[in-house]
A and B are shown apart, each in its own frame.
Chain A
Amino acid sequence: MGSQGGWGQSKDFLDLVKSIGETRSKAEEDRIVMNEIEILKRRITEPDIPKRKMKEYIIRLVYVEMLGHDASFGYIHAVKMTHDDSLLLKRTGYLAVTLFLNDDHDLIILIVNTIQKDLKSDNYLVVCTALTAVCKLINEETIPAVLPQVVELLGHPKESVRKKAIMALHRFYQRAPSSVAHLLSNFRKKLSDNDPGVMGATLCPLFDLIIADANSYKDLVISFVSILKQVAERRLPKSYDYHQMPAPFIQIRLLKILALLGNGDKQASEHMFTVLGDIFRRCDPSSNIGNAVLYECICCVSSIHSSPKLLESAAEVTSRFLKQSDSHNLKYMGIDALGRLIKISPEIAEDHQLAVIDCLEDPDDTLKRKTFELLYKMTKPSNVEVIADRMIDYMISINDNHYKTEIASRCVELAEQFAPSNQWFIQTMNKVFEHAGDLVNVKVAHNLMRLIAEGFGGDDEGADSQLRSSAVESYLRIIGEPKLPSLLLQVICWVLGEYGTADGKFSASYITGKLCDVAEAHPSDDIVKAYAVTAIMKICAFEIATGRKVELLPECQSLIDELSASHSTDLQQRAYELQTVLGLDALAVETIMPSDASCEDIEVDKSLSFLNGYVQESLVKGARPYIPESERSGMADISNFRSRGHHDSSTHGLKFEAYELPKPSVASRIQPVPLATSKELVPVSQPTYPQEMSQAASMPSVPETGPSELKLQLDGVQKKWGRPTYSPTVPSNSNSSSQKAVNGVAQLVVQGTVGPKTRDVSYDSRKPQVEVSPEKQKLAASLFGGSSSKTGKRPTSTSYKTTRVHSHAAEKSQIPTATVASTEHAAEKAPQPPPPDLLDLGEPTPGYTVIDPFKQLEGLLPSDASSVANSGVSASKSSDIMSLHAESPMSGLIGTVANMGPTNLDSANLLSSLSNLANRNVHGGPAAMQVAPVKKGPNPQDSLEKDAVARQVGVTPSGTNPNLFRDLLG
C-alpha cells in the first residue's frame, strides 16, 4: 500500500520537487519551473521514448501546470497516452487530460473515440476511469456520442460503474438539459438501487431536477421520507457511518430535497414532521457532522409548511449554536439559521439580541458579513437608520469591491423601502454614492431619479416638493467636492436640471454656473457632460417658458461652443439643440420642454394605428398584405438559419458514430427523406423534441436531407438558447415579491403573539444575568427595540394593520413600479409608538396627528415600557461600567491563550493533530494513534518511523534543515 520508502518516483522529479520546495520567493520558483518546461519540451519530442518515461514526463507536466504555468505543448502527449492499452498508462493519460483540458478545448474531439471504446471495456476499472473523464470532458456537442453507452452502463453489475454513470448523466443534464430530457425517468428508477452508494449519488441529479420543477416529483415525498427514516434508524451498512452518525451526507442531501418539496405544500410537509422530529432528537450535538445535519434540519423546517413543535426544536438548536459554543463556525451557522427562522417567527430574534451584536462586532469579517445579512433581513422602519449607518460605516472600511457593491445595493434597497424621512433618504443615498462610487448599479441611480421625480407616491404634493428642494440643496452643497463618482454627478445634474429652479430659491444663472463647473471639471467624462448640457437646456427652457429673458453666462457659452465641435456626436447634438431652444419663443419651448414632466407617461401606440390609412391606400394600390412572422413558413427557415450563427456548426459538422458499411439497398438511403420532410410540414411540438433529436443523431446524414435535418435540430437549438434569456428575469421577480410578502406577514405575527408584559419581564430578567457593555445594549435596543415596541400593541390595532397590509399587498401586485413609494407612504402614516431607540426618542413621528385619540392612548403603554427599559439601561451603565471594562479584556485574553495551545503544536502527523483539535470520541487523541495501525494495512512500526522522519525533516521541504531532507531522499 501507499508509498513507504522512496515514494516511487524518479530522481529527476524528486529533485524538481525538492528544489521548488526550497525556493524562498515566487520569482525563484518561476525560474526553476521555466527551466523544467524547457527540459520537458526537449525531451518529450524525442523519438522512441519508453512508455514508463513518458508517463513520468506527463506527471511532471501536471505538476508544472498545477503551479500555474502553461504546459499546453504537452497536452497532445497526454491525449495520446489515453489511447494506450495498459491501464497504468491510460489512467495517467486520463488524469492528465482531465486536469489539463476544459470541456471547450479543441483536443477533446481526439479523446471522444477512445472514451467510446473504453466505455465498452470488459474491465470495470477502465470503464470507471473513462466515466470520470466523461464527467469532465464531454461537452454539449459530444454528449450524443457517448450518451447511449452511458445509459447502458446504468445497468452495469458493478455498483461503482452505475454510480459514476449516474453522475455522468447528471453532468449532461447540467450542461444541456434537453440532451437527457427523455432519460429523466432513469434517475427515479435508480433511487431504488440496492446499493446505498448509487442511491446516494442519484440524489444529486434529483435535487437539481426538483429545483427546476418540484411539482412533478411530489409523488416521491413518501419514498424520500422513508429512505431518510431508514437512514436515521441505521439501516444502512456500517461502512456509511461517519463519526458515529448514520450516513450523514445522504441525510443532508435528503433534507435538502425535502425542503424543496415541502415548500408551500402543507400535505407534503405533514409527511415529514415525524422524521424531522426524530432527527432533531437523534443528532449528536457535540460533533461537527451532527451539527451539519441539525443545521440542514433547520433549513428544512424553515422552508416547509411550519409546525410549531419543529420550530421550537429549530429555535432551540439555533440558540445553542449562538450561545453555548465558543466556535465561530457554529455562531456563523447560528446567524444564518436565525435569518431563516425570523422569516417565520420574528420574535425568535429577540432572545438573541446580544449574541447578534457580539457577532456584529466580532473581528472576524466572515461572521460580520453574515450578521449584516441577518440585519438586512430584519430591517424595519424603526431600526433602518441604525442598520443603514452601520452598513455604510462597514462599507467605507473595506476594500473588497465585490462585497462593497453588494452591501451598497442592499443599503439602497433598505433606504428606499424604509426611509423615515426625506432628508435622511437623500443623505443616505449621497453617502452610498460617495463611497461606493461607480460600483453602484446604474439602475440604482435611475431609481433615485425616479423617486425624486415621483415623490413618495400618494397625493401629498407638498411633501414631494419638499423632498425635491432638500435634494437640490444637498446636491448644491456637495457639488464642489473633488472626485465625485460619475454616477452621482449624473444624478446631481439631472436633479438640478429638473428642479434646480423649481422652488425659486436659486437663480437660473447660479444653477447653470454650477452645471458648467461640473462639465468643465470632468472633461473626459462624456456622459456627465451630456447630463450637464441637457440640464442647462432644461433650466433655460423653464426660464423662457415663464417669460423671462435668458442671458447665457460667458462660461456657459464657451462650453456650448466647445461641445458643438466635440468628437462625440451625442454631445454635439445636445449642444446644437440647446442653441436652437434658446432661439425659440415661449410657447414653442413650453411644448417641447414642459416643466416637471419627467414622469408623465408617454403613450406608445403599439399597433401603429395611425398608419392604417396609409396601409389601406397601399393595399388598394395592389401591395401584398402583411403576414405576421409567426405565420410565415418559408421565411422562418432562413431567419433561423442566419441566427444560428457559427456556434452549433459542429452539430452537423461532426459525426461520432462509426460509418456504416455501404449497403446496396437504395430504400434505406431514401427513407430519411420523407420522414424529415413530413416533419417540416407538421408544426413541431416541443415535447416530441428529444426523440427527434436522437433520431436525427442516429440517422446517417445523407446530402439530400441536409436542410431538412437542419431544421429539425434547430428546434433543439432554439430551446437551448431560448431558456437562459428567460430565466434571469423570472427568479428575481419572484424573489422580490416573496420577500415583500414575508415582510408583511412578519409584522403581523409580531403584533399578534407577545404582549407588553412578557417583554418587560424578559428584559428585566436578562439584565442581572448578563453583564454587557451599555453601548451594546443601546445598539441592541435600537436594532431590536422596534420589534419589541410593536409587540406592545393590542389586537385591536392589529386588525387595523392587517387590513392595511392586505390592501397594500394588493396595491403592490397591481402597480409594481409604485411599490417602493407606497410602502414608504404607509410606513409614514401607520400608527407608530415612539421606538425605544435612544437615538430616536427626540424625533417627532410624522403622521401621528392623523390617528384618532383612542389609538394614541394605546400607543402610550408601550412607550412607557420602553422608557423604563431605557432608564434601566442607563442605570446599569453608570454602575457597571468600571467592572465591565476591567473584566472583559482579561477574559478575552485568557480565552485566546487557551486556544492557541493546540494549534501551535507543530505535529507532522496530519490526523493526530487534527484529532487533538476536534473533540471527537472516535478519533480522540492517542487512542486513535494506537488503533489506527491495527485497522489498516501498514504495520505500526513503519508509520512510526515515517512519522519520526517527517518530524525531523520538518513537514515541508523548505524546512529548516535542507541537509536532512537530502539525506532522506538519497
Chain B
Amino acid sequence: MIHFVLLISRQGKVRLTKWYSLYSQKERSKVLRELSGDILSRGPKLCNFVEWRGYKVVYKRYASLYFCMCTNQEDNELEILEIIHHFVEILDRYFGSVCELDLIFNFHKAYYILDEILIAGELQESSKKTVARLIAAQDSLLETAEEQANTISNMIVQATKK
C-alpha cells in the first residue's frame, strides 16, 4: 500500500501532496521536511529508494521535479518506480509534454488524474487509455456545464439590463 505521494521541486518546494494514511498536519510538515532533506541531497547515481522510519520511500527525478511515494517495507520498489512513471506518462499525455509549470498552476487537475490512478493507496487502473478516457469524460462534462452556466448568467445579465 502507498501511504503518501509527494511532488517536491529541486528547491524543496512542495508541488503536490496526497496522503492515503492518517497523518496530522503537524506530522505532514515533519514528513515533508525530513524527506525533502533526505532525498534532495542524494546523488544522481544512488538508488531511488530511501529507508525511512520503517517504511520505504521510492523517488524519481523528472527534470526539476521529484516524485516520491512511500510504501511498506515488503512492497516491490521497482513496481512503485514504474507506478510513478505510469503517472508521469499519463500527465504527459494529458497536458501534452508536461512541465513543472503545468503542475504548479493546474495542481487540482493533477489531483484528479492521481485519483483515477491510485485509490486508497492502491493502484486502481493500469491502463493509460482508460484513465485518459475517464478524465476526458469529466472534462467534457465540465465544459458543457460551464457553458451552460455562462449562458444562464449572460441571460440574467441581459435580463437585468432591460
Contacts and interface: CB of A to CB of B under 8 A. Distances in A.
Interface of A: 1-4, 7-9, 14, 17, 20-21, 52, 59, 62-63, 65-68, 70, 86-88, 91-92, 95, 98-99, 102-104, 123, 125, 128, 132, 135-136, 160, 163-164, 167-168, 170-171, 174, 196-197, 200-201, 204, 237, 239-240, 242-243, 247-250, 252, 256, 288-289, 291-292, 295-296, 299, 327-329, 331-333, 363-364, 366-367, 369-370, 402-403, 406, 896, 899-900, 903, 906-914, 932-933, 936-938, 942-943, 946-947, 950, 953, 955-958
Interface in B62-116: 62-65, 76-79, 81-83, 85-86, 88-89, 91-102, 104-109, 111-112, 115
A675 B112 CA distance: 48
B76 A900 contact: no
B81 A911 contact: no
Nearest to A200: B126
B47 A364 contact: yes
A248 B82 contact: yes
A91 B142 contact: yes
A834 B137 CA distance: 73
Contact of A903 (B20, B44, B89): B44
Contacts of B96: 1-2, 4, 933, 936-938, 942-943, 946
Given A17-B104, A132-B119, A95 B47 contact: no
Contacts of A369: 51
B37 to A, nearest CB: 12
Contacts of A937: 96
Interface string B145-160: 1100100000000000
Nearest to B94: A2
A252 B61 CA distance: 24
A240 B127 CA distance: 5
Given A99-B18, A240-B127, A91 B78 contact: no
A3 B54 contact: no
A909 B97 contact: yes
Nearest to B60: A914
Contacts of A899: 44-45
A237 B138 CA distance: 23
Given A250-B126, A911-B88, A942-B96, A68 B14 contact: yes
B40 interface: no
B29 A68 contact: yes
A86 B51 contact: no
Contact of B137 (A125, A247, A955): A125
Contact of B120 (A136, A363, A896, A953): A136
Chain A contact residues: over half helix, strand or loop, or mixed?
helix
B79 A252 contact: yes
B46 A91 contact: no
A-B CB proximity, top 9 nearest:
A292-B78, A328-B47, A938-B96, A239-B129, A7-B105, A249-B126, A68-B29, A364-B46, A135-B120
Contacts, number: 258
Interface in B11-48: 11, 13-14, 16-18, 20, 22-25, 28-29, 32, 43-48
A4 B101 CA distance: 11
Given A248-B82, A329-B77, A910-B63, A88 B105 contact: no
Contact of B28 (A17, A68, A128): A68
Which of A98, A366, A942, A943 has the largest number of chain B CB atoms within 10 A? A366
A4 B91 CA distance: 14
A930 to B, nearest CB: 12
Contacts of B54: 402, 406
B76 A3 contact: no
Nearest to A932: B97
A289 B78 contact: yes
Size bin of chain B's contact surface: 35 or more
Nearest to A243: B82
B53 interface: yes
Of the listed residues A4, A59, A91, A911, the one surrounded by the most CB atoms of chain B closer than 10 A to its CB is A911
Nearest to A929: B97
Contacts of A88: 142, 145-146, 149
Given A197-B125, A402-B53, A911 B119 contact: no
A513 to B, nearest CB: 44
Given A903-B44, A938-B96, A956-B11, A910 B65 contact: yes
A328 B45 contact: yes
A936 B28 CA distance: 37
Given A170-B120, A329-B49, 15 more contacts: A68-B32, A88-B142, A92-B108, A102-B23, A167-B122, A196-B127, A197-B130, A239-B128, A288-B78, A289-B78, A299-B76, A366-B50, A942-B96, A950-B99, A957-B101
B63 A955 contact: yes
Contact of B127 (A70, A132, A239, A913): A239
Contacts of A958: 11, 13
A367 B127 CA distance: 32
B2 to A, nearest CB: 11
B127 A197 contact: yes
A409 B35 CA distance: 25
Nearest to A402: B53
B100 A956 contact: yes
Given A87-B145, A252-B76, A909-B63, A9 B99 contact: no
A333 B58 CA distance: 13
A242 B48 contact: no
Given A909-B63, A956-B9, A242 B126 contact: yes
5 contacts: A132-B119, A164-B119, A170-B122, A295-B78, A906-B63
B147 to A, nearest CB: 11
Contacts of B29: 68
A898 B47 CA distance: 17
B99 A910 contact: yes
Nearest to A24: B11
